[in-house]
Chains A and B, each alone.
Chain A
Amino acid sequence: EAGVAQSPRYKIIEKRQSVAFWCNPISGHATLYWYQQILGQGPKLLIQFQNNGVVDDSQLPKDRFSAERLKGVDSTLKIQPAKLEDSAVYLCASSPPVTNYGYTFGSGTRLTVV
């Protein structure tokens, strides 16, 4: 089966600019996650979608981050305006709507804010 697709792979922007990341999960996976991974750390959950609804966005910095999952398939994560501390890898993952099942991750987008 096709994996989780993410684009772009790399992005360099200046602080205060905006950026958007795109994710296409595995077909049939109702649950989609966005994680932020700062260099040397483990991934940290930003937001979880179930179909096109938000399950949990409690760790999303809503003053600058936004995410949507229209039609319950693709998702976009946006940062506006970006700060230096947003430099990280942004990972998208999906899973079927059952417990005791692992995630499938995309390759991530490496964001550098200068």
Chain B
Amino acid sequence: SQQGEEDPQALSIQEGENATMNCSYKTSINNLQWYRQNSGRGLVHLILIRSNEREKHSGRLRVTLDTSKKSSSLLITASRAADTASYFCATPMSGSARQLTFGSGTQLTVLP
């Protein structure tokens, strides 16, 4: 069953603006991951945040995790047209340390 769900479903911004996507999940997790999928391609792993971490950075990406609210956010700063893609959060399935369940994704469009 699906564990994480992203919000919003679609987001359109101008180049140079920041983009924020949210993910909510249902059960306790030991990590949460974000992936990017360009149209017609496979998913690319962006960042993994452990349950004992509150914030993590990677280049222009900033991920936060609030285990009390069972939510995470992905911030992309100074967005570029090349950031146009679908973004998915993924969490381990109940009872499994490594099987991931994915949400339906946020479709981000960055306009030049």
Stretch from A41-49, A60-68, A77-85 that touches the partner: A41-49
Tell whether, in the assembled complex, residue A102 and residue B45 are in contact, meaning their CB atoms are under 8 Å apart: yes
Q: How far is the CB of A111 from chain B (nearest CB, A)?
A: 13
Is A24 an interface residue, CB under 8 A from the partner? no
Report the bound CA distance from A25 to B88 in whole Å.
Answer: 22
Given contacts A41-B105, A101-B98, A105-B43, 4 further A-B contacts (CB under 8 A): A42-B88, A45-B101, A99-B31, A102-B48
If A42-B103, A42-B104, A95-B98 touch, whether A101 touches B42 (CB-CB below 8 Å) is no
Q: How many residues of A contact B (CB 8 A)?
A: 26
Scan residues 1-58 of chain B and give those whose CB is less than 8 A from a CB of chain A: 2, 30-31, 33, 35, 40-45, 48, 50
Interchain CA distance A101-B103 in the complex, whole Å: 18
Contacts of B100 in A (CB 8 A): 45, 103
B4 nearest in chain A by CB position = A42
Instruction: Please report which residues of chain A, range 49-104, place their CB below 8 angstroms from some CB of chain B when the two chains form the complex.
Output: 56, 91, 93, 95, 99-104
Task: Say yes or no for B68: interface residue by CB 8 A criterion.
Answer: no
Chain A residues with CB under 8 A of B42: 4, 6, 91, 93, 105-108
Question: In which size bucket is the chain B interface?
Answer: 20 to 34
Chain B proximity of A42: nearest CB distance (Å): 4
Task: Assess the B45–A100 pair: CB atoms within 8 A.
Answer: no
Chain B residues contacting A41 (CB-CB under 8 Å) are: 104-105
A33 to chain B, nearest CB (A): 8
Query: Which chain B residues lie closer than 8 Å to A108 at the CB level?
Result: 41-42
Q: Judge whether B48 and A101 touch: CB under 8 Å.
A: yes
Q: Contacts of A106 on B, CB cut-off 8 Å? A: 42
B99 and A100 form a contact (CB under 8 A): no
Most buried by A among B2, B31, B100, B102: B100
Chain A CB within 8 A of B97 CB: yes
Q: A31-B98, A45-B99, A105-B43 are in contact. Are A99 and B104 (CB under 8 A)?
A: no
Closest Cβ of chain A: how far from B16's Cβ, in Å?
28
Q: Which of B45, B50, B97, B104 contacts A103 (CB 8 A)?
A: B45
